Amino acid sequence: MDGKIILVANTPKERVLSGIQPTHESFHLGNYLGAIKQWVDLQNTNDAFYCVVDLHALTVETKPEDFKRRNLASVAQLIALGLDPEKCTLFIQSHVPAHNQLGWVLECMTGFGEASRMTQFKDKSQKAGSDRTVVGLFTYPILQAADILLYQANKVPVGEDQRQHIELTRDLGQRFNSRFGETFTIPEGYILKAGAKINDLQDPTSKMSKSSSSGAGVIELMDAPEINTKKIKSAVTDTGRDVTFDEKEKPGISNLLTIYSALTGKDISQSQADFEGKGYGDFKGAVAEVVVEYLRPVREKANELLKDEAHLNSLLKIGAEKAEAVASQTLKNVYDRMGLIPRG
């Protein structure tokens, strides 16, 4: 030894977890700007776990052959959008049974009234009526809490609409810790201001969502450029002529400015400045071009990846093994602390 002291940076990485439902052939721009874009950034500096939540998606009735395809299409899109399976753990929720197992434990600790207050459940069940609402939709946020708590996540990158589910997760984690001793990390939502709520292009006061709109105001990442250009050019605008950000008076223009700003990396005032003295027509044309050019390589890469299902499956196998190692340890602690007898 020559007496030199070597300092090793030893700050543990923070744990990140998030999930997305494979309910459609394509994710939409709200999914990307509200969540996936942050997932991509966070994988570089955190120990990130991302899952395609196929079990949550069972709350929507889907044909098996469509469901299978949508799961793989989801994985392909996530990789095409920038998730790197070498940097993050990318997996399918049902490949790790501990999600359901912890889900049941947490269901036994959630009040009926507490679950009944979840606004997403209330909205969806009111629309469908109680006979057409499945019980899985009621327990959906509890399974989501299990997804998060299993991985001892510190941060959960999601859009604004998930704030209440993260709050429930925190409550359940704290409840368990205070009854049975420190077991779970209590997570924080990671909800960025810009992009946390992208609105429908035809109804710019409601969030962009495939389940609640005709589709004309939803930009699907996998759609052909002509389709998305047309949708953006037909976006509802507001009275007046200036391209200025004012969510109350000009929700349509503000939504398009948010999209433009998020995809170009310019802030809102720089984005506004790009259109000074120009009309809505020029503005919408420019937004369409930015969106289409941004998505072009994503669509190409996703389609390319989908040609090799065996490769995608092998990536998912590695992801499931990495996820399982963490999840099974948490579940074991949970069972032990609650007094369940381990299998001999």
Catalytic residues, by residue number, are: 124, 207, 210
Using the rule CB under 6 A, is 328 a contact of ligand TYM? no
The pairs formed by 102-108 with CB atoms below 8 angstroms and a separation of 24 or more are: 102/146, 102/149, 102/150, 102/327, 102/330, 102/331, 102/334, 103/139, 103/142, 103/143, 103/145, 103/146, 105/146, 105/334, 105/338, 106/142, 106/145, 106/146, 106/149, 106/172, 106/176, 107/139, 107/142
- 190/283 with CB nearer ligand TYM: 190
Specify the pairing of strand 188-190 against strand 155-157: parallel
Could you say which of 40, 148, 262, 331 contacts ligand TYM (CB under 6 A)? 148
Could you say which of 46, 74, 162, 271 contacts ligand TYM (CB under 6 A)? 162
Using the rule CB under 6 A, is 20 a contact of ligand TYM? yes
CB of 26 to ligand TYM, least distance (A): 12
Give the contacts of 210 (CB within 8 A, at least 6 positions apart).
Answer: 23, 24, 28, 218
CB of 8 to ligand TYM, least distance (A): 32
How many whole angstroms separate alpha carbon 102 and alpha carbon 169? 12
**Cα distances (angstroms) measured from residue 265 to each of 26, 37, 41, 195:** 24, 12, 13, 12
- What's CA 291's distance to the chain center, in Å? 19
Two tokens, residue 1: 């030894």
Using the rule CB under 6 A, is 158 a contact of ligand TYM? yes
What string marks each residue from 168 to 207 as x (binds ligand TYM by CB under 6 A) or -? ----------------------------xxx--------x
Using the rule CB under 6 A, is 21 a contact of ligand TYM? yes
What string marks each residue from 34 to 73 as x (binds ligand TYM by CB under 6 A) or -? xx-----------------x--x-----------------
Residue number closest to ligand TYM, CB atom = 34
- 124/207 with CB nearer ligand TYM: 207
Two tokens, residue 101: 């197992």
Query: If binding means CB under 6 A, how many residues of this protein chain bind ligand TYM?
Result: 26
Q: Which of residues 67-126 bind ligand TYM (CB under 6 A)?
A: none
Site residues (vs ligand TYM, CB under 6 A): 17-21, 30-31, 34-35, 53, 56, 144, 147-148, 156, 158-159, 161-162, 165, 196-198, 207-209
